[in-house]
Structure 1
């Protein structure tokens, strides 16, 4: 058995194995839904081979993530699958080790994983963050927005990109990349939905946009929001218009805790959930270094005193001012990204938790 990155001419095997594992006949192919996973240009996905036959696969996708003034090097993995004849032999674990080595060499600080099964938990991947999950129906929403709502078009591409770039916490993307992911409908395709775009416009200015996955073949017409941006009042107006005109019957959206859209929707019921999938801290020292511009803006003195050191047993030691604490990998994820008792964080609550974008939706891997 040989474990290595796939070559361009081997990606067809990866798509076939992924389709066999994750897709039914009515689904679109994984190759169409997740082009970044099977990209011959990126060429960063790994597989295990028995001779020339691909028997196990892990899709690997790099992303730049913006958190305030900071820019993080991150990777995501998905489409993790093994042929039925080769399962329960530790092959995925062996590939994951190679992936970990590769993303460390690439100077990544975080790895996002779409799943939470034992393979990931054994390798220091943990649940993280917080989102407010809303289910909005036609009787529970009102809006006083004065603009108009319409379906988006390709002519809106620059205006939408302006709204995307204005976000303080986001996956960084070009116009081309965003358009590719919009067309692919990756996350929405899991539910056999296709993405569609709506915008709110006022005096010729696009003030907000919403991307929804909608199952046009279903009488229920449930919609999942996969991306959004702009003025929060305009976003609420889009939701109301779609429900009022019965374009959809129910809208589901998971809003990260830091997003101001929560203030706009604060009269609606929601459920608290953690962000999608799990997270692995590739290198704690590197992560804090990449986060420094964001942390310094939050609390300059405390951030500059913050030092973190990797130890031999996967734990880390964190120093700040006159304090020193030792954390396990799971405790570090909780410390950095989860909400804790103020008494536990002390003065560190001025820096943490670190906000992250939603890991489900347009950029789901």
Structure 2
């Protein structure tokens, strides 16, 4: 490489170690787990999806870029996640990340991944088309709430730590979710070991399993304090299976780990878990899903969601078209009438239970109410980037 020449491109296998070192300098201290260990897919020489900028013969800017599949009912949605975005302080202000985001948009189109999830919400992402999205309720179960939840057991469940023979059961429970990331046994094992969200707060993963009649009915992944002073409070990272059992299991596991409180982040579609926590009187704060989202290709997004939306209202779906032109402008067409939508309008239309005012109106809006919102899994779970 010319020592004075700037290059912006996909990283090559031998360059990911330098990327992890750069990310650690920007985001971590000596007690943190390395970013390369916590976010292995962003620093993966096997995937080779992440981008970097090189100057003066070294990597000076990095954008982690990770492909995933989200299952929504029968639909499979190709998505990319952006995270671990960092630039050497001496090289900031040169537009590297903005250039990489432009390259990522084209990369996503070629990969037929119409949706990009971003862990941040900075202005540069807003210019990229990212907006806050969806809805969740954050519950903080204090000591009194934990007591009430502990007393709510029906006595039919037993709770125990994860056993090394549980991987098939965990994968089966994961697959039982109507909305969730595609997770193989290997995916689950790697993500639980990596501790992506937990490691940001210097917390550790603990996995617990609930059984009835000897059969697993729920599992939870908890982030709890380990051997070093934590930066955050204990929380539920991921769960699957029976919602009420999962809540009781989380409380049992948290208390076994010495936690005096426990945080839950519950997306709007997980009404069963929300009801259990609300009934226990857990303090609740409504908000959006973590991070932001950008729609790269609205037409491809609608196509990939077709099998899910058909079950909601096939007639309405047949009269709706979405598209994104080469300039990144989004359009909705209803019975031949085209309406341009700003990024926030389209994102809110598709994913928000309570929508902002949109250019979609009249019969088209009535149809949209029958088709949308589309549920998405919590981005800050095991698949956080």
TM-score (norm 2): 0.90
How far does residue 139 in structure 1 lie from its aligned partner after superposition? 1.4
The alignment status of 1:336 with 2:350, answered yes or no, reads yes
How far does residue 265 in structure 1 lie from its aligned partner after superposition? 2.1
Aligned pair partner of 2:92 in 87, 91, 107: 87
Q: 1:40 to 1:243 in 2, by over 3 A?
A: closer
Task: Tell me the equivalent position of 1:349.
Answer: 369
Structure 1, residues 136-183: CA drift from partner, whole Å, max 9, x if none? 123113322321111111111111111100111111011001100000
The residue correspondences of 1:230-269 to structure 2 (distance < 5 A) are: 230-242=241-253, 245=256, 247-259=258-270, 260-267=272-279, 268=281, 269=283
Task: Tell me the equivalent position of 2:67.
Answer: 62
Distance in 2, Cα, partners of 1:182 & 1:115: 22
How far does residue 342 in structure 1 lie from its aligned partner after superposition? 10
Task: Tell me the equivalent position of 2:153.
Answer: 144
Q: 1:335 to 1:221 in 2, by over 3 A?
A: closer
Unaligned runs of 5+ in 1: none
**241-250 or 34-43, larger mean C-alpha shift:** 241-250
Structure 1, residues 17-66: CA drift from partner, whole Å, max 9, x if none? 00000001110110111111111110111001115310111011000111
Distance in 1, Cα, partners of 2:72 & 2:368: 18
How far does residue 129 in structure 1 lie from its aligned partner after superposition? 0.5
Task: Tell me the equivalent position of 1:227.
Answer: 238
Task: Tell me the equivalent position of 1:273.
Answer: 287
Q: 1:57 to 1:303 in 2, by over 3 A?
A: same
Task: Tell me the equivalent position of 1:320.
Answer: 334
The alignment status of 1:216 with 2:236, answered yes or no, reads no
Task: Tell me the equivalent position of 1:172.
Answer: 182
The alignment status of 1:13 with 2:27, answered yes or no, reads no
Task: Tell me the equivalent position of 1:53.
Answer: 58
Q: 1:5 to 1:341 in 2, by over 3 A?
A: closer
How far does residue 309 in structure 1 lie from its aligned partner after superposition? 2.7
**292-301 or 217-226, larger mean C-alpha shift:** 217-226
Distance in 2, Cα, partners of 1:238 & 1:47: 42
Task: Tell me the equivalent position of 1:187.
Answer: 197
Structure 1, residues 282-337: CA drift from partner, whole Å, max 9, x if none? 10111011111111011111112211233465332212347643211221111111
Aligned pair partner of 1:128 in 133, 138, 154: 133
Task: Please give the secondary structure, in 2, of the residue aligned with 1:299.
Answer: helix
Task: Tell me the equivalent position of 2:380.
Answer: 360
Unaligned runs of 5+ in 2: 1-5
Distance in 2, Cα, partners of 1:28 & 1:219: 12
Task: Tell me the equivalent position of 2:101.
Answer: 96
**325-334 or 111-120, larger mean C-alpha shift:** 325-334
